[in-house]
């Protein structure tokens, strides 16, 4: 599988794309929808993936087994790179608002998607470690009544409503990973997410970054998994002592975590 480091070294120099054919270069922010298409000679510099599991958005949505949704900041560079990840087959879909992501997940539910092997929610976190899901629209704290299958309703903020919507897509064996920076600094936040989803979840302590390499396990001291437990709001040391949470390796091979 191609590595992010390789892409950066061979195709990107600083904040510019470098054409391997004519040596022309252009700013990432000016790349538009065809980020890697040379503006001078027309050569396509898009990296070619070789990984066997690169397809995460098949034509038939019921065949999705790896759902990877990403919330990018509203900048030209992040939008361009997140769009590239979608085209490469590393990300299923990107969103600027959580409300739109909820609607998409509900559409997948109606289409019969279930028993996902993998659920990745990519989002920027905060240094306080209190946010697993955020968006450019900043609508994570906006909410609405969410209707359950039995007809009952309950109010949820959108960040929680997204997890509620995902519950019918997963199983106890689904690997669930939150990429938010500092997402495992406060383990009670992961425990809360595990309680909503009803199964084990993973997160990264400190600064994390989506990547395309297999070196994540070198940073295993930063990866934590937490199981559902009703004792929310406890200190990290209690969760670790009681083995509700534990230090582990990442179940997701396409992600890396910066030291």
pLDDT digits (tens, 9 = 90+) for 211-223: 433 444 445 568 8
Is the model's pLDDT at 61 over the cut of 80? no
Which pair of structure tokens corresponds to residue 50?
């070789």
Q: For residue 54, what pLDDT is reported?
A: 43
Reference 205, options 219, 215, 191; nearest CA is: 219
Q: How many CA atoms lie within 13 A of 62 on its CB side?
A: 3
**In angstroms, rounded to a whole number, what is the distance separating the alpha carbons of residues 234 and 195?**
14
pLDDT band at 5 (very low <50, low <70, confident <90, very high): very low
The pLDDT of residue 258 is: 42
Rounded-to-integer distance, Cα 157 and Cα 155, Å: 7
Q: Token pair of 77, please?
A: 């560079």
∠ CA 119-253-203, nearest 5°, is 55
Percent of the chain with pLDDT over 90: 32
Average pLDDT over residues 81-93: 73
Indicate the pairing of strand 143-147 with strand 153-157: antiparallel
- Alpha-carbon distances, residue 65 vs 80, 92, 120, 168 (angstroms): 25, 10, 11, 13
Instruction: Give residue 75's pLDDT.
Output: 67
Per-residue pLDDT at 246: 95
Residue 201 predicted with pLDDT over 50: yes
């Amino acid at each position: 599988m191609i590595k992010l480091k390789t892409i950066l070294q061979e195709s990107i120099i600083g904040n510019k794309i470098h054409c391997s054919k004519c040596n022309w270069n252009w700013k990432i922010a000016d790349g538009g929808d065809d980020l890697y298409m040379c503006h001078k000679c027309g050569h396509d510099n898009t990296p070619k993936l070789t990984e066997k599991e690169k397809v995460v958005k098949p034509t038939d949505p019921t065949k999705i087994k790896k759902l990877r949704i990403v919330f990018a900041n509203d900048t030209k560079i992040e939008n361009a790179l997140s769009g590239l990840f979608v085209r490469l087959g590393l990300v299923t879909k990107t969103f600027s608002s959580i409300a739109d992501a909820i609607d998409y997940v509900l559409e997948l539910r109606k289409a019969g998607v279930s028993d996902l092997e993998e659920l990745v929610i990519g989002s920027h976190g905060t240094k306080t470690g209190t946010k697993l899901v955020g968006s450019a629209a900043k609508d994570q704290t906006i909410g609405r009544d969410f209707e359950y299958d039995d007809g009952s309703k309950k109010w949820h903020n959108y960040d929680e409503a997204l997890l509620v919507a995902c519950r019918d897509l997963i199983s106890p064996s689904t690997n669930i990973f939150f990429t938010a920076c500092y997402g495992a600094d406060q383990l009670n936040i992961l425990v809360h997410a595990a309680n909503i989803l009803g199964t084990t979840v993973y997160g990264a302590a400190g600064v994390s970054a989506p990547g395309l390499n297999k070196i994540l396990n070198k940073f295993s001291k930063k990866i934590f998994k937490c199981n559902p437990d009703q004792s929310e709001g406890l200190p990290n040391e209690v969760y670790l002592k009681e083995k509700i949470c534990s230090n582990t390796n990442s179940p997701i091979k396409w992600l890396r975590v910066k030291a």
